[in-house]
Amino acid sequence: MPKTPNLFITMVTCILFACTGTAQQVPKTYVAVKAKGQLTIDGLANEVAWKNAKWTSDFIDIEGTLTPKYRTRVKMVWDDTYLHFYAEMEEPHIWGTLKQRDTVIFYNNDFEIFIDPDGDTHNYMEFEINVLNTIWDLYLTKPYRNQGNVLNHWNMEGVKSAVHINGTLNNSKDRDKGWAVEISIPWNVLGEASKGAVPPKDQFWRINFSRVNWQFDLENDRYGRKKKENGQYEPEYNWVWSPQEVINMHEPERWGYIYFAEQNLQQDKVVIPDDDYIKWYMYEIYRKMIQENEMENFTYPPKEIKGKSIVVEIKKELKGYLVYTKSPFSGKQLVIDTDGKFIEQR
């Protein structure tokens, strides 16, 4: 069993100290096209569907400024049954030790997927995989900042995955080129976190990717995470597709936008909805409120978004506070409720 209680406490502590009030950057976007033909999940991505799919931009450090030591990039396609992922990672030292499902996979170098179908920051999924094709899949009812439930024993039933190694595994005497993962997640599993139709044709989902990479030590020619002189582990590198701007993957409002198209579509033809620009501003305020632990007298200036002056209001409720405004673009009432969930109302 994974050592989840201490792990989750550590995550919550990191989150409380990582909240910032800085303006959010525009997240990355990607067009996932419907696959033509069958895919064989073998980690090789030799099929025509993969050859026609475009790469994401290269991953960047989680805070969005530093260029990682090794390249990481992803492709996505979908069909009527699965959402497919292919990730390619440069790595001169390929190693892994964890073989039990649902152990804490990011204690090895790993690749991670985060999926929030409805974009409301609640009820989202996390999938982690290491070079041994060992999986950790989780369902989170809320981000850690909102003290939600983490369903560690929940599984993505029917998921298929494979790893391809371009080099040798756990051999410290040579240098490798990298490893790749191919993953297929059934829509009927992903639909458990979505109120909409699956596949979500011509719609956006919020998704992000992370790669955890550790410095290593060798003991009797065996790899392990590098330790400091005081015996504590050196911090890991966190490389992501769409920058989080903080060292915390569990701020879903910062994740990227995946658009599901049935035919090839130019990237510049896909436009993030105007209301989402307001949503990012609202979460900027919300995170600042959490950071300062100041609700009663909290104020924030209006902000011009796409030529409109947006005034966000804060309302005291019986159980907490609402952050809300009316969109000048859609006419909808946009709300972050007392539990941190994003809601759109007509």
The answer to whether the beta carbons of residues 176 and 94 sit under 8 Å apart is yes
Among 274, 90, 77, which residue's Cα sits nearest to residue 183? 77
pLDDT tier at 3, thresholds 50, 70, 90: very low
Distance CA 131, CA 1 (A): 20
pLDDT at residue 1 is higher than 80: no
Neighbours of 66 (CB within 10 A): 11
Cα-based distances in Å from 345 to 110, 282, 321, 330, 333: 39, 15, 17, 10, 5
Residue 301: predicted pLDDT: 87
Confidence at residue 298, expressed as pLDDT on a 0 to 100 scale: 72
Cβ neighbour number for residue 120 with a 10 Å cutoff? 21
Query: Of residues 164 and 8, which shows the higher confidence score?
Result: 164
Q: Is the pTM of this model over 0.85?
A: yes
Q: Which of 104-108, 158-162, 208-212, 297-301 has the lowest mean pLDDT?
A: 297-301
102/129 Cα distance (integer angstroms)? 10
pLDDT score of 167 more than 50? yes
pLDDT value at residue 266: 77
Length of the chain: 346
Inform me whether the pLDDT recorded for 316 exceeds 80.
yes
The rounded distance, in Å, linking the Cα atoms of 257 and 241 is 11
296 pLDDT higher than 70: no
**Could you give the percent of the chain with pLDDT greater than 70?**
92
pLDDT at 324 over 90: yes
Residue 248 has pLDDT above 80, yes or no: yes
Using CB atoms within 10 Å of the CB of residue 339, give its burial: 0 to 12 exposed, 13 to 18 middle, 19+ buried.
Answer: middle
Q: What is the mean pLDDT of residues 221-243?
A: 97
Distance, CA of 310 to CA of 327 (rounded, Å): 8
- What is residue 320's predicted lDDT score, i.e. its pLDDT? 83
Contact 27, 255 (CB under 8 A): yes
105 φ, ψ to 5°? -65, -30
pLDDT, tens digit (0-9, with 9 covering 90-100), for 11-48: 333 333 344 445 789 999 999 999 999 999 999 999 99
CA-nearest of 328, 329, 336, 332 to 345 is 332
Alpha carbons 122 and 150: distance in angstroms, whole number: 11
Residue type, 101: R
User: 153 and 102 in contact (C-beta within 8 Å)?
Assistant: yes
Q: What mean pLDDT do residues 284-297 have?
A: 81
- The residue-averaged pLDDT of 73-82 equals 98
Average pLDDT over every residue of 239-260: 98
239 and 72 Cβ atoms separated by less than 8 Å = yes
| pLDDT at residue 294 in the model | 63
**CB < 8 Å & 24+ apart, contacts of 88-91:** 88/178, 88/180, 89/178, 89/179, 89/180, 89/211, 90/177, 90/178, 91/167, 91/176, 91/177, 91/178, 91/179, 91/213
The pLDDT score that the predictor gives to residue 295 is 63
Chain segment 180-200, per-residue pLDDT in tens: 999 999 999 999 999 999 999
| Exposed / middle / buried, residue 22 (Cβ in 10 Å: 0-12, 13-18, 19+) | exposed
